[in-house]
Amino acid sequence: MEMRTLHVKINGRDYQVPDGSTILEAASAYANIEIPTLCYLEGISEEGACGVCVVDVKGTRNLPRACLTKVSEGMEIWTNTARVREARKINVELLLANHPTDCFTCERTENCDLRDLASELGVREVEFPRTRTEWLPIDNTSLSLVRDPNKCILCRRCVNVCAKVQSVYAIDIAGRGSNSTVSTFLNEGLGNVECVNCGQCLLVCPTGALTERSEIPDVWKVLGDPDKIVVVETAPAVRVAIGEEFGMPDGTQATGKMAAALRSLGFNKVFDTDFSADLTIMEEGFELIGRIKNGGTLPLITSCSPGWIKFAETFFPGVLDYVSSCKSPQQMFGTVTKTYWAEKMGFDPRKIVVVSVMPCTAKKFEKERPEMKTAFHYWQEKMSLKDEEAFNDVDFVLTTREAARMIREAGIDFANLPDEDFDKPLGESSGAGVIFGATGGVMEAALRTAYEVLTRKSLPRLDFEDVRGLEGMKSATIDIDGTPLRVAIANGLGNARILIEEVQKGESPYQFIEIMTCPGGCLGGGGQPLSNNPDIKKRRAEAIYREDAGKPIRKSHENPEIQEIYKDFLGEPNSEKAHHLLHTTYHDRSGE
Amino acid sequence: MIRNQLLICAGGACITSGEKSVKDVLVEELAKNGIQDEVQIIETGCMGACDLGPIVVVYPEGTFYQKVTPQNAGPIVSEHLVKGRVVSGLLYRQPTSETRAQTREEISFYTLQVKRVLRNCGVIDPLSIEEYIARDGYFGLGKALEIGPDAIIQTIQESGLRGRGGAGFPTGIKWKAARDASGSPKYVVCNGDEGDPGAFMDRSVLEGDPHSVIEAMVIAGFAIGAATGYVYVRAEYPLAIERLEVALTRAREYGFLGRNILGSGFDFDIEIRIGAGAFVCGEETALLRSIEGKRGMPSAKPPFPAQAGLWGKPTLINNVETYANVPPILINGAEWFRSVGTAKSPGTKVFALAGKVQNTGLVEVPMGTTLRELVFDIGGGIPGGKAFKGAQTGGPSGGIITADYLDMPIDFDSVKELGTIMGSGGLIILDEDNCMVDVAKFYLAFTVDESCGKCTPCREGTKQMYQIMERITDGKGTPNDIGKLKTLGRVIQQTSLCGLGQSAPNPVLSTIRFFPDEYRAHIEDRKCPAHACLHLLTYSVVSEKCVGCTACARQCPVQAITGQVKKAHVIDQATCIKCGSCYEVCRFDAILKE
Cis peptide before A509, with omega less than 30 degrees from 0?
A: no
Do B315 and B357 lie in one domain? The reply is no
Domain ranges of chain A: 5-95, 132-211, 217-582
Summarize the confidence of residues A103-114 as an average pLDDT.
94
pLDDT value at residue A360? 98
Q: What digits encode the pLDDT tens for the residues B96-153?
A: 778 899 999 999 899 899 999 999 998 999 999 999 999 999 999 999 999 999 999 9
Final residue before a domain boundary, out of B274, B304, B337: B337
For domain A217-582, the CATH class is alpha beta
Is A324 catalytic? The answer is yes
CB contact under 8 A, A62 and B299: no
Q: What digits encode the pLDDT tens for the residues A60-92?
A: 999 999 999 999 999 999 999 999 999 999 999
Q: What digits encode the pLDDT tens for the residues B190-229?
A: 999 998 888 899 999 999 999 999 999 999 999 999 999 9
Which of the residues A75, A78, A90, A98 would you substitute to probe the B interface, choosing the one with the greatest number of B C-beta atoms within 10 Å?
Answer: A90
pLDDT value at residue A480? 85
Give the Å distances, CA to CA, from A369 to A143, A308, A363, A509. 10, 14, 10, 32
Is A304 catalytic? The answer is yes
State if pTM tops 0.90.
yes
Q: Which of A522, A547, A551, A556 is catalytic?
A: A522
Q: Which of A155, A205, A304, A360 is catalytic?
A: A304
Q: Give the list of residues 6+ apart from residue B452 with CB closer than 8 angstroms, or none.
A: A176, A177, A180, B278, B280, B286, B296, B297, B298, B458, B459, B500
Which of the residues A131, A171, A181, A183 would you substitute to probe the B interface, choosing the one with the greatest number of B C-beta atoms within 10 Å?
Answer: A131
Q: Which of A151, A363, A364, A474 is catalytic?
A: A363
Final residue before a domain boundary, out of B73, B106, B139: B106
- Whether B112 maps to a domain, the answer reads no
pLDDT value at residue B441? 97
pLDDT value at residue B594? 85
Whether A280 has a pLDDT exceeding 90, the answer reads yes
Is A195 catalytic? The answer is no
Q: Which of A46, A371, A502, A564 is catalytic?
A: A371
CA A241 to chain centroid: 11
* CB-based contact A532:A526 (threshold 8 Å): no
CB contact under 8 A, A94 and B456: yes
Do B514 and B409 lie in one domain? The reply is no
Note the helical H segments in A424-485: 431-434, 441-455
Do B146 and B218 lie in one domain? The reply is yes
Q: Looking at CA atoms only, how far is residue A156 from chain B in angstroms? A: 9
pLDDT value at residue A377? 97
d(CA B594, CA B584): 14
- The domain that contains B549 carries what CATH number? 3.30.70.20
| Architecture label for domain A5-95 | Roll (3.10)
Where residue A303 falls among pLDDT bands split at 50, 70, 90? very high
Closest CA to B174 of B326, B300, B287: B326
- Whether B116 maps to a domain, the answer reads no
Q: Strands of B315-319's sheet, edge to edge?
A: B269-275, B228-234, B187-192, B315-319
Do B180 and B243 lie in one domain? The reply is yes
Do B298 and B443 lie in one domain? The reply is no
- Whether B118 maps to a domain, the answer reads no
- Whether B122 maps to a domain, the answer reads no
Whether B37 has a pLDDT exceeding 70, the answer reads yes
- Whether B120 maps to a domain, the answer reads no
pLDDT value at residue B96? 75
pLDDT value at residue A462? 83
Q: How would you classify the pairing of strands A5-10 and A76-78?
A: parallel
Do B488 and B374 lie in one domain? The reply is no
Q: Looking at CA atoms only, how far is residue B495 from chain A in angstroms? A: 6
Cis peptide before B54, with omega less than 30 degrees from 0?
A: yes
pLDDT value at residue B165? 87
d(CA A431, CA A445): 8
Average pLDDT value over all residues in chain A: 95
**A386 CB burial (10 A radius; 0-12, 13-18, 19+):** exposed
d(CA B437, CA A259): 68
**A556 CB burial (10 A radius; 0-12, 13-18, 19+):** buried
Do B249 and B321 lie in one domain? The reply is yes
* CB-based contact A262:A270 (threshold 8 Å): yes
Do B163 and B311 lie in one domain? The reply is yes
Where residue A2 falls among pLDDT bands split at 50, 70, 90? low
Enter the ipTM: 0.92
Do B203 and B139 lie in one domain? The reply is yes
Strand partners, B271: B230
Average pLDDT value over all residues in chain B: 94
Do B157 and B94 lie in one domain? The reply is no
Q: What digits encode the pLDDT tens for the residues B546-578?
A: 999 999 999 999 999 999 999 999 999 999 999
Do B259 and B164 lie in one domain? The reply is yes
Whether B385 has a pLDDT exceeding 70, the answer reads yes
pLDDT value at residue B287? 97
Whether B545 has a pLDDT exceeding 90, the answer reads yes
- Residue A486 phi/psi, 5° resolution? -95, 125
Is the domain spanning A132-211 CATH 3.30.70.20? The answer is yes
pLDDT value at residue A410? 98
d(CA B495, CA B444): 17
Q: What digits encode the pLDDT tens for the residues A540-592?
A: 999 999 999 999 999 999 999 999 999 999 999 999 999 999 999 999 999 87
pLDDT value at residue A397? 98
Q: What percent of chain B has pLDDT over 70?
A: 100
Give the Å distances, CA to CA, from B408 to A515, B149, B162. 70, 38, 20
Residue ranges of chain B whose CB lies within 8 Å of a chain A CB: 278, 295, 297, 299-300, 302, 448-457, 459-461, 463-464, 467, 484, 487-488, 490-491, 493-497, 502
Final residue before a domain boundary, out of B287, B308, B337: B337
- Whether B253 maps to a domain, the answer reads yes
Count the domains in chain B: 5
- The domain that contains B27 carries what CATH number? 3.40.30.10
Q: Looking at CA atoms only, how far is residue A466 from chain B in angstroms? A: 35
Q: Supply the range of the domain harboring residue B372.
A: 348-431
Summarize the confidence of residues A429-454 as an average pLDDT.
93
Do B333 and B272 lie in one domain? The reply is yes
pLDDT value at residue A459? 87
Residue type, A419: D
Interface check for A96 against chain B (CB to CB < 8 A): the answer is no
- The domain that contains B279 carries what CATH number? 3.40.50.11540
pLDDT value at residue A460? 82
Whether A1 has a pLDDT exceeding 70, the answer reads no
Note the helical H segments in B268-406: 284-291, 320-332, 334-338, 371-372
Q: What digits encode the pLDDT tens for the residues A305-345?
A: 999 999 999 999 999 999 999 999 999 999 999 999 999 99
